[in-house]
């Protein structure tokens, strides 16, 4: 989407979601999120009528986030069948 550098912040729901994940998936998701610092690259889709503006796909997991200026705020993290509820 662009080459801007971003700061990553986590909402309280996202931190709770991370705590609930198995260690292997948590590590993979955190690496994927860290890559967002260098730009909005990856399987990203703009969402409509959801609690977050964008979603990043990682297998069966989804990372829902907003972009507020130079900050990416992670809102929710979870399995695709549960995260949009």
In a domain, 85, yes or no: no
In a domain, 57, yes or no: yes
Tell me: the pLDDT tens digits for 62-79? 999 999 989 999 999 999
| Helix H or strand E encompassing 65 | strand 61-68
pTM (2 decimals)?
0.89
Burial of residue 51, with CB atoms counted within 10 A of its CB: 0-12 exposed, 13-18 middle, 19 or more buried: middle
Tell me: the pLDDT tens digits for 7-63? 999 999 999 999 999 999 999 999 999 999 998 888 999 998 777 899 999 999 999
In a domain, 84, yes or no: no
In a domain, 1, yes or no: no
Question: Structurally, how many domains does the chain consist of?
Answer: 1
In a domain, 31, yes or no: yes
Would you state the structure tokens that stand for residue 32, as one six-digit string? 């994927």
Give residue 46's domain range.
Answer: 7-79
Which has more pLDDT, 3 or 7? 7
CATH of the domain at 40: 3.30.2310.20
Beta carbons of 55 and 40 less than 8 angstroms apart:
no
- Return the pLDDT at 3: 61
């Amino acid at each position: 989407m662009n080459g801007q550098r971003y700061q990553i912040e986590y909402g309280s729901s996202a931190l709770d979601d991370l705590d609930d994940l198995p260690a292997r998936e948590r590590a993979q998701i955190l690496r994927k999120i860290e890559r967002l610092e260098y730009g909005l690259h990856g399987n990203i889709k703009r969402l409509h009528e959801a609690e977050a503006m964008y979603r990043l796909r990682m297998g069966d997991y989804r990372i829902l986030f907003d972009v507020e200026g130079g900050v990416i705020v992670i809102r929710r993290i979870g399995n695709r069948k549960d995260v949009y509820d």
